[in-house]
Amino acid sequence: MDGPAEAVARWAAEQQADVLAALEAVADPRIAGAEGLAAAELDAALALHFPEADAEAVRQELVAAGLARETGGRVAAAEGAEAARAALDRELAARPLPWAAGLTQGGLLAAFAAYCRDEPAEVEVLAAEEARLRLRRRREEAVFELRAGLVLCERLAGEAALLACDLRSVPDAWVRAFAASPAARGSLCLVDLARLEKMCAARSPLPAYLDWFLRDAHGVKLAAGGTFTQTLLELGVITLGFG
């Protein structure tokens, strides 16, 4: 049987995004809690984000790899999950950004941390890891992290967070539900660093620092996601001004 790092590397090489996203959710205590996730809830979330996935097979793959345990209809992180999460962080950090030769997601995150330390006097870097930053502006804290997917990430609502992942495969139904939730859209900002796209209506001013960094350091900007913006318009959350 593969070790945690080998299992993550194999799933990444095979582009098994559903397995990586399920691992991420199960191994994240903010999402799974101490008792783990109800298998039916995880299955429903996987079916929403990966309609062609066999949710039961995904769960069994995690269990077979020693990264999850399933008892009483619940799926919880097993002993190897922490090492797998660290390996997943390394894999996410190593992903290249197509618009800048030689730049990876992790490299961009590290450069953004340096920018926050040196440029805006009101922003403090509280912690910097390979795939995660914790920032503070005055009394407000926020986390900026690289993620494999958005499975059950709505459970992070309430904590100001900037989540970077591949937004190409996020279903429109989930985007509309996210945009329609004041709690989710008010605290979570979603960005696709490879495609330079964002879904952000968060109250926190901290995501704006990423916009300024990308503009100043790389001459690029994040474009607003179409379905997300259209939903906000339909709900009357934003309006388009002319003239």
What is the CA angle 139-142-143, rounded to 5? 150
Residue 240 domain flag: no
* Sheet strand arrangement including 68-71: 37-38, 74-77, 68-71
SS3 for 33?
A: coil
Tokens of 225: 């996601």
pLDDT, position 241 = 62
pLDDT, position 206 = 87
Residue 180 domain flag: yes
For residue 243, name the pLDDT band (cuts at 50, 70, 90).
Answer: very low
- Condensed to tens digits (0 to 9), the pLDDT of residues 36-88 reads 999 999 999 999 999 999 999 999 999 999 999 999 999 999 999 999 999 99
Residue 24 domain flag: yes
Q: At what angle do helices 81-93 and 105-118 cross, to 10 degrees?
A: 80
| CATH code (residue 84) | 1.10.10
Q: Where among 51, 68, 88 does a domain terminate?
A: 88
Residue 241 domain flag: no
Residues 125 and 213 in one domain: yes
Cα 117 to its chain centre, rounded Å, is 23
Between 24-28, 95-99, 202-206, the lowest mean confidence (pLDDT) is in: 202-206
Residue 25 domain flag: yes
Question: What is the percent of the chain where pLDDT is above 70?
Answer: 98
Domain hosting 173: range is 96-235
Per the listing, tokens 């960005």 go with: 191
Q: Where among 39, 67, 88 does a domain terminate?
A: 88
- Condensed to tens digits (0 to 9), the pLDDT of residues 211-230 reads 999 999 999 999 998 999 99
DSSP string, 118-183: HS-TTEEEEEEETTEEEEEETTEEEEEEE-S--TTGGGGTTS-EEEE---TT--HHHHHHHHH-HH
Residue 242 domain flag: no
- Condensed to tens digits (0 to 9), the pLDDT of residues 95-148 reads 999 999 999 999 999 999 999 999 888 899 999 999 999 999 988 899 999 999
Q: Name the DSSP letter for residue 225.
A: P
Other beta carbons less than 10 A from residue 239's beta carbon:
8
Beta bridge partners of residue 224, listed in sequence order: 198
Residue 243 domain flag: no
- Please measure the distance between the N-terminal and C-terminal CA atoms of the chain and give it in whole angstroms: 64
pLDDT, position 203 = 87
SS3 for 83?
A: helix
Q: How far is CA 96 from CA 102, 104, 149, 219, 229, in A?
A: 7, 4, 17, 18, 27
Cα 242 to its chain centre, rounded Å, is 34
Calculate the average pLDDT of the chain: 93
Q: Where among 88, 116, 142 does a domain terminate?
A: 88
Residues 139 and 74 in one domain: no
How many domains is the chain built from? 2
pLDDT, position 159 = 82
- Pairing mode of beta strands 132-137, 188-192: unpaired
pLDDT, position 72 = 95
Tokens of 21: 């996203």
pTM: 0.93
Cα 221 to its chain centre, rounded Å, is 19
